[in-house]
Amino acid sequence: MRIVVAPDSFKENLSAVEVAKAISAGIERVIPDAEIISIPVADGGEGSVEALITATGGKIITTSSVDALNRPIQSFYGVLGDGRTAVIEMAAASGLELLSPEERNPLITSTFGTGLLLKAALEAGFTEIILAVGGSATNDGGAGMAQALGFGLQDKNGNPIDSGGGFLGELHLIDRHQVHPLLQNVRITIACDVQNPLLGPSGATRVYGRQKGATSEMIEILEKNMKHFARVLQKEFGVNFADIPGAGAAGGLGAGLMAFCNARITSGFGLISQLTGLEEHITKASIVYTAEGKIDPQTVFGKTISGVAQLAKLHQVPVIALSGKIEGDMTELYKQGVTSVFAIGDRPMNLAESKSEARDLIASAAERTMRLVEGIAKSPGLLY
């Protein structure tokens, strides 16, 4: 039996690679000689670098950066197996996971560290860069990233504005005299499946601000400042970035990358599935396993499980989806191609327990579901 294992990460717990290993371990308890094709997948968020270098035979490059509060950290970027393309995960510098809950404050968090990762890749000679956005602790529109690359973001007195979304309202002028010279020679692709615009009810601030630590009062300040920031960008670059789908990704980093780096945005899942050959592997599979930390009605809108299911449906391959938490009606997900959804929990437990035991719970759930699949496969009388 050939089985494709294509999960996303369990956010703030296990990477997609770790989830894939746990699922594979559970399957092997039932069918030791199964041919398991492990393809960790990500939709542009955390784990994208690991998924891509695992699938393409690439490597990790360690480098210095700063976190979202501009504290020095050791971070990384990846090099794909072709040796020519760098892949950067903004969460590796400006990510929510790097801050404690008490430290999360989008008024002062910055994407400066993401800019340093871009700078490191530029200076290493890469002219093709994939930037995976997601899992951000920021709401600064990519302003910090731009500052790291030499853009002078100045207030009305000619002084640099401070870091964070709380200071975007002070932006008056963008000085390009010190922009990194290698930026003009690079092609940057934003890997992202978020379609949110920059502003408004479905924009970066109002949809994602709270999970980054914003209070109701902060959200009003951040939204007002982001509107001002969008106006300055339009005046400077001649494009209204605010309404472009994906501009609101990662607290507006999508808009900032398009404006300051002339980046193009593409589906994170689509790009990663193409680079990993996911669809080709699915066409030869008997069954597909996928997984994500939480499955809810939003899963159908471009999340990894949705993407995997739709590819499998094209080739009439059944899909089992595992999740740490299941909420809401799964009807639309079943229509997209998921055969059945299973929670990994095997008893009542709190979130802390679920996270600490996640590997074992995932492996056990994979084993249980695989025993069901094997039992049905060996019992033709049960089929119709």
Question: Average pLDDT in the 264-288 region?
Answer: 89
Residues 323 and 209 in one domain: no
Q: How confident is the model at residue 384 (pLDDT cuts 50, 70, 90)?
A: low
Of the chain, the percentage scoring pLDDT greater than 90 comes to 76
Q: How confident is the model at residue 271 (pLDDT cuts 50, 70, 90)?
A: confident
Q: What is the pLDDT of residue 43?
A: 63
The mean pLDDT value of the chain amounts to: 92
pLDDT at 340 over 80: yes
Q: What is the pLDDT of residue 382?
A: 61
Residues 63 and 208 in one domain: yes
* CA–CA gap between residue 131 and residue 117 (Å, rounded): 10
The phi and psi torsions of 8 (rounded to 5 degrees) equal -95, 180
Residues 229 and 98 in one domain: yes
Instruction: Render pLDDT for 69-127 as a digit per residue (tens, 0 to 9).
Output: 999 999 999 999 999 999 999 999 999 989 999 999 999 999 999 999 999 999 999 99
Q: What share of the chain is helix, strand, coil (3-state, %, to 5)?
A: 45, 20, 35
Question: For the whole model, what pTM was predicted?
Answer: 0.86
pLDDT at 5 over 90: yes
Residues 79 and 7 in one domain: no
Q: How confident is the model at residue 204 (pLDDT cuts 50, 70, 90)?
A: very high
CB 70 within 8 A of CB 113: yes
Question: Which of 241, 268, 295 is where one domain is finished?
Answer: 268
pLDDT at 383 over 70: no
User: What residue spans of 95-209 are helical by DSSP H?
Assistant: 112-123, 143-148, 204-208
Domain that holds residue 375: 2-39+277-382
Tokens representing 202?
A: 């479905």
Question: Average pLDDT in the 227-235 region?
Answer: 96
Residues 292 and 166 in one domain: no
CB 5 within 8 A of CB 289: yes
Residues 178 and 215 in one domain: yes
What is the torsional sign of CA 154, 253, 132, 278? Answer: negative
Question: Which of 268, 299, 328 is where one domain is finished?
Answer: 268
Residues 72 and 126 in one domain: yes
Question: Which of 250, 268, 286 is where one domain is finished?
Answer: 268
pLDDT at 45 over 70: no
Query: Which has more pLDDT, 72 or 267?
Result: 72
Angle at CA of residue 249, ends 244 and 255, nearest 5°: 50
Question: Average pLDDT in the 164-185 region?
Answer: 96
Residues 224 and 119 in one domain: yes
Residues 323 and 358 in one domain: yes
Count of domains forming the chain:
2
Residues 186 and 94 in one domain: yes
Residues 172 and 192 in one domain: yes
Query: CATH no. for residue 10?
Result: 3.40.50.10350
Place of tokens 């599935």: 273
Instruction: Render pLDDT for 291-324 as a digit per residue (tens, 0 to 9).
Output: 999 998 878 877 889 999 999 999 999 999 999 9
pLDDT at 54 over 90: no
* CA–CA gap between residue 134 and residue 251 (Å, rounded): 9
Query: CATH no. for residue 252?
Result: 3.90.1510.10
Residues 138 and 199 in one domain: yes
